[in-house]
Structure 1
Amino acid sequence: MARPSDHVDGARLWRRLMDLSRFGARPDGGVDRQTLTPAEIAARADLVALGRSLGLEPFTDAAANLFLRLPGRRPDLPPVMAGSHIDSQPTGGRFDGAFGVLAALEAVEAIRAAGLVPERPIEVVAFTNEEGSRFAPGMTGSDLFTGARAMAEVAAIRDAEGIAQGEALAAVLAADRDVPQRPFQRPVAAFVEPHIEQGPVLERDGVPIGVVTGIQGTRRYRVRVTGAAAHAGTAERHERRDALMAAVRMVAAIDRAASDPSDTKLTVGLFEVTPNAPSVVPAEVLFSIDLRHPDNAVVDRLDAAIRAIVEGERGPCAASLRQIQHNPSLTFSPVIRGAIAAAAGGLGLTHRDILSAAGHDARQLHDVCPTGMIFVPCRDGISHNPAEWAEPDDLAAGARVLADVLWQLANGDGPGADASGDPGIPR
């Protein structure tokens, strides 16, 4: 029987990646295609047209998640899904998220080119707002799809301009042309997300395929420190309620607390000072905290430390801490990991297990179906940056592995199948 991987066209995949990067293109070669913006609306319409040209059935949901469906012989069976997202950071690259969606599309096209019809449907998906750069936190599309969040909560989130996410979703859905909506929490047989590694391990080791074992845990916070504005020349130090000095004390103490263990990832990436004038004592500071570690116990311990530090270092100011996201570490399905490793081995591609240090929509899907991820190398591990780069041959290799994995999962003949051919995914 023909293998779908034999029909993957790396040049076609590369061309489509470059074509997609035109939507939100930056002068420095990067991409600014933030979620639910005109640039993403245009990219979404392009994907719908491309899917239709390949005989795929487009549909969406109230979160504006986009699906392109390849029918199977048994349309009553839950589908196998693959994909990622097409939104970017404001200074993003051309491959983060986009590779996963277009690799899934390439895999489905390869299955069709091989003259094969899967038993169960296969759906290419582009989830909404994975990045969270415009509406924080991210992954709200996959959260809504899986039932992890309620629409009322997500719709109320506002961007820096005061636009509610619900308003932006309505605008995107109104721009769709003949794309039907389906409900959330539809049954899914399995989910596979291809992605650039966003780290240096695969490139350093000369390994083209990473079999992702899981995702490290994370907590994200917003801290608001409120003091009082005062004249820089007349206000006595001992009388000031200086929000910036309090915030600096907090960040320094949190940095010290997070130094043990040494592999803890701590980022304070957002820092807003009000009124932000050189001769005025700052009245208010808003800052973010992004905390990550593979060991949930470490994350939980540092959570308690951060809360104590914010209270202990506020001085005469008021301070509030709001946790906006908590995702424990997880381990992906051994069935999906085995299918990825076997497909890579069958193609003669070196592969290795690797933990994802970054979050992905696969985290949310893990809670509702067997899930896994395929990593491919990226240059110097750079991502969320216009310098983000992946080699065409590595991208093609990831798409070839994905094509064979999807075919196996959609037909019940992949690794992990029992004597009846059931791969351990729901029928």
Structure 2
Amino acid sequence: MTLAASVRADFPRFWKTIEYSAEIGTGRSGGLSRLALSDADRQMRDLFVTWCRDAGLSVTIDRVGNIHARRAGRDDTLPPVLVGSHLDTQENGGRFDGIAGTLGALELVRSLNDAGHITRRPIEIVNWTNEEGARFSPPMTASGCFAGAYEVDWVHARQDDDGITFGEALRSIGYLGDAAPGGRAIDSYFELHIEQGPVLDAGNVQVGVVTHGFRSHGYLVEFHGETAHTGPWPMERRRNALIAAARLLVAVDDIGWEYAQTGGKGTGARLVAWPNKAGILSDWAQAVCDVRHDDPATAAIMASRVEAAIDAAAARTGCTATTLDRWDWGGKIFDDALVAEIRRTASHLGYSHRDLPSQAGHDAYFLARICPTAMIFTPCRGGITHNNNENAGRADLEPGLNVLLHSVVARADLEDDSIS
């Protein structure tokens, strides 16, 4: 039993789900502010679960809130093919980042239902919790837990700016499930995502075949100093944690500019301090930063310079510094066979395509640690993302959606069990 090459996803139906999503957790004009485990996230999850059950899928929630919706296969004892992304957004987020991939996975199974095609392997669509890391640091927390990078209790203990823990937030929205995250055989993982860059749009290319990820190194650093009056307290005796964190972030930005000509990036993403008021020095601050580069060796050099900058910022300000968390991902992580299948499928369906790396972090990075993994990029207008002006239309999304459909089915129907 094979899926006819003429089968295509029902784009109007897919677009309708995108429009429904765009009404939940609205932010600035045209965008979304649907932070992980917020009430808006709960509303979107409830709707997504309803859609999945209406499509005949069995839904399971794990202990970090990941939603798995399973479509049985002809041989349901085989490990499933996972397809998904995330439904949470940044505070000033767009309507497509992650969402297009999750709802694209839903459209995939709806289209298979329409075609009456039952794949050999089961297919599970997944909504990963807290991909963005906008509320709970670090990003990709729950997919990392699924892949064994983080323990459940550690994830549950993450706190937002109001001191609410990840676990408390899960309970409050009713998505603290019973299932263990991961710990089972997975055949493969596919993720459809907007490119979040300008390459495909500028080149009028319909499909991006993701070959690897930029090597990225991220840090959450805490500085401790001492409060004092901003007027009479001598400069030589000041221990201003706010300035220590600021010096680090400026240093990281400088590192990014030094490597910018070869595509490197350094980002000072977040600074919080206490008391953070006029008239008083802050005795506590936290900074979040990262560096990334296409060349892993260069990225490692950039990371070593960040670590030196942490020490230098503390020494210059008389503060102490502690790296509370460090994460790294990327490199040559995607499966060659799956990447080749995506290329073949794009060509077979008549879509223009090109190889390119992912410069952002994605849940696929963690899944690549435990199973063959691949990503498909669609264009987004001007490459704008993490911004309420993020935009994509039918011409941008439909080719990638159809490539996802046929690539996943090709994998799920493969007869060679030695690949699992």
CA contact (8 A) 1:267 1:289 kept: yes
Partner residue in 2 for 1:351: 353
| Cα shift at 1:301 | 1.9
Deviations 1:94-120 (A, max 9, x none): 101110011111111112211211111
CA contact (8 A) 2:188 2:373 kept: yes
Distance in 2 of aligned mates of 1:364 and 1:187:
15
Partner residue in 1 for 2:9: 8
Pairwise mapping of residues 23-422 of structure 1 onto structure 2 (< 5 A)?
Answer: 23-173=24-174, 181=179, 184-262=182-260, 263-314=263-314, 315=316, 316-412=318-414, 421-422=415-416
| Cα shift at 1:310 | 2.1
CA contact (8 A) 1:64 1:173 kept: no
Q: Equivalent residue of 1:135, what SS?
A: coil
| Cα shift at 1:4 | 6.5
Which stretch shows the higher mean deviation, 32-41 or 315-324?
Answer: 315-324
Aligned amino acid, residue 403 of structure 2: V
Gaps of 5+ in 1: 413-420
Aligned amino acid, residue 44 of structure 2: A
| Cα shift at 1:402 | 0.9
| Cα shift at 1:24 | 0.8
Distance in 2 of aligned mates of 1:311 and 1:351:
45
Relative to structure 1, the CA distance from residue 257 to residue 404 in structure 2 (aligned partners, 3 Å threshold; closer, same or farther) is closer
Aligned amino acid, residue 221 of structure 2: V
Gaps of 5+ in 2: none
| Cα shift at 1:27 | 4.9
Distance in 2 of aligned mates of 1:204 and 1:313:
40
Aligned amino acid, residue 425 of structure 1: I
| Cα shift at 1:182 | 5.8
| Cα shift at 1:175 | 8.1
Deviations 1:117-142 (A, max 9, x none): 11111111111111111110021211
Aligned amino acid, residue 57 of structure 1: S
| Cα shift at 1:20 | 1.4
Aligned amino acid, residue 71 of structure 1: A
CA contact (8 A) 1:135 1:165 kept: yes
Distance in 1 of aligned mates of 2:269 and 2:351:
38
Q: Percent identity?
A: 37
| Cα shift at 1:328 | 4.4
Relative to structure 1, the CA distance from residue 93 to residue 250 in structure 2 (aligned partners, 3 Å threshold; closer, same or farther) is closer
Q: Equivalent residue of 2:109, what SS?
A: helix
Q: TM-score, normalised by structure 1?
A: 0.92
Q: Equivalent residue of 1:268, what SS?
A: strand
Aligned amino acid, residue 4 of structure 2: R
Partner residue in 2 for 1:418: none
Distance in 1 of aligned mates of 2:73 and 2:54:
18
Distance in 1 of aligned mates of 2:307 and 2:198:
33
Q: Equivalent residue of 2:397, what SS?
A: helix
Which stretch shows the higher mean deviation, 55-64 or 203-212?
Answer: 55-64
Matched, 1:425 2:407: no
Q: Equivalent residue of 1:16, what SS?
A: helix
Which stretch shows the higher mean deviation, 311-320 or 334-343?
Answer: 311-320
Relative to structure 1, the CA distance from residue 276 to residue 100 in structure 2 (aligned partners, 3 Å threshold; closer, same or farther) is same
Which stretch shows the higher mean deviation, 240-249 or 23-32?
Answer: 240-249
Distance in 2 of aligned mates of 1:238 and 1:59:
58
Q: Equivalent residue of 2:276, what SS?
A: coil
Distance in 2 of aligned mates of 1:138 and 1:254:
19
Aligned amino acid, residue 396 of structure 1: E
Aligned amino acid, residue 58 of structure 2: E
Q: Equivalent residue of 2:69, what SS?
A: strand
Relative to structure 1, the CA distance from residue 424 to residue 399 in structure 2 (aligned partners, 3 Å threshold; closer, same or farther) is farther
Relative to structure 1, the CA distance from residue 166 to residue 88 in structure 2 (aligned partners, 3 Å threshold; closer, same or farther) is same
Relative to structure 1, the CA distance from residue 410 to residue 258 in structure 2 (aligned partners, 3 Å threshold; closer, same or farther) is same
Distance in 2 of aligned mates of 1:3 and 1:378:
29
Distance in 2 of aligned mates of 1:120 and 1:292:
37
CA contact (8 A) 1:4 1:114 kept: no
Distance in 2 of aligned mates of 1:254 and 1:140:
24
Deviations 1:194-240 (A, max 9, x none): 00000000000100100000111212112223322222222222332
